[in-house]
């Protein structure tokens, strides 16, 4: 007999404006407790020192996390030039310094070389796995951390403000897997200097924007009201771009029981790899067509 989960069957998305100084896993635990939810997860780790959009999935929404992970990200960040640190941000120890500070012209000339697809080496203090362990755990144990370059894409990189004292503000729009700390490190090196991030804020994660995110303080103010209507988004919020197929209640029951539906039962089906199956406008599964049959990929029980 399956062990009953503690908490309530809360399903949906909460878009947290994570404060700086709080780890993503800790933030998820806090939100899970506030909602007394049975299950929770997040889409896209945000550095503890960073603030901004952290989408948190509750209950059945955890099954749709991949559709957020693949979305583009937008960040605002500030770089201090002249110093490189162990973590490529202000949390680490300074390991190298230089008197050579880039000027505005240097930076503008190099920014363009970052646009498009490129190979990027993540920071040693990152969540990348090396032989089953996180790179930051190995780095904290003073073990050698050799990270392989990973393919990333940067669509936009612009300098918002430049100060002659070696500090500049930037905005970046990029693909998943992009480390802003690495961008800052590499940009500084390309100008003949050194640099690290001193402030980082995620403005967008997939379709979720910072201006629509909720602070922990606001969520805590609702803890005893049981009125989560304004902050809990439907599970299918992240599936807006995925076509839907209407099924009858009888067909829905078959899918929920793990059975397949013949494509011939429908006049047409969406021509995509995965699509939604809905009954009475309620999402019941993510499905795909294989060998003439509609097969469930993920059942959504809510």
Active site residues: 47
Secondary structure of the chain as H, E, C letters: CCCCCCCECCCEEEEEEECCCCCHHHHHHHHHHHHCECCEEECCCCCCCCEEEEEEEEHHHHHHCHHHHCCCEEEEEEEEECEEECCCECCCCEEEECCCCCCHHHHHHHHHHHCEEEEECCCCCCCCEECCEEHHHHHHCCCCCCCCCEEEEEEEEEEEEEECCCEEEEEEEECCCCCHHHHHHHHHHHCCCCEEEEEEEEEEECCEEHHHCECHHHHHHCCCCCCCCCCCECHHHHHCCCCEEECCHHHHHHHHCCCCEEHHHCCCCCCCCCEEEEECCEEEEEEEEECCEEEEEEECCC
């Amino acid at each position: 007999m399956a062990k009953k989960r503690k908490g309530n069957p809360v399903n949906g998305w909460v878009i947290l404006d994570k404060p700086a100084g709080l780890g993503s896993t800790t933030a998820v635990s806090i939100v899970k407790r506030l909602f007394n939810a049975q299950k929770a997860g997040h889409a896209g780790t945000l550095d503890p020192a960073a603030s901004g959009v952290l989408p948190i999935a509750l209950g059945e929404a955890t099954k749709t996390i991949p559709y957020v992970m693949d979305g583009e990200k937008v960040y605002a960040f500030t770089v201090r030039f002249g110093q490189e640190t162990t973590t490529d941000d202000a949390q680490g120890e300074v390991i190298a310094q230089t008197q050579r500070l880039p000027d505005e012209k240097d930076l503008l000339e190099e920014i363009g070389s970052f646009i498009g697809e490129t190979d990027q080496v993540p920071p040693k203090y990152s969540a990348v796995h090396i032989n089953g362990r996180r790179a930051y755990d190995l780095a904290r144990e003073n073990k050698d951390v050799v990270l392989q370059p990973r393919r990333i894409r940067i669509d936009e990189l612009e300098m918002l403000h430049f100060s002659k004292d070696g500090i500049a503000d930037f905005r970046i729009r990029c693909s998943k897997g992009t480390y802003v700390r690495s961008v800052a490190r590499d940009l500084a090196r390309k100008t003949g200097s050194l640099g690290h991030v001193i402030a980082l804020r995620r403005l967008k994660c997939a379709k979720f924007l910072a201006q629509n995110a909720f602070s922990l303080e606001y969520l805590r103010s609702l803890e005893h009201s049981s009125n989560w209507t304004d902050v809990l988004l439907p599970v299918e919020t992240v599936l807006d771009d995925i076509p839907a197929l209407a099924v009858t209640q009888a067909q829905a029951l078959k899918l929920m029981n793990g059975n397949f539906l013949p494509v011939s039962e429908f006049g047409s089906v969406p021509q995509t790899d995965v699509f939604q199956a809905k009954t009475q406008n309620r999402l019941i599964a993510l499905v795909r067509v294989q060998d003439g049959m509609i097969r469930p990929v993920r059942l959504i029980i809510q």
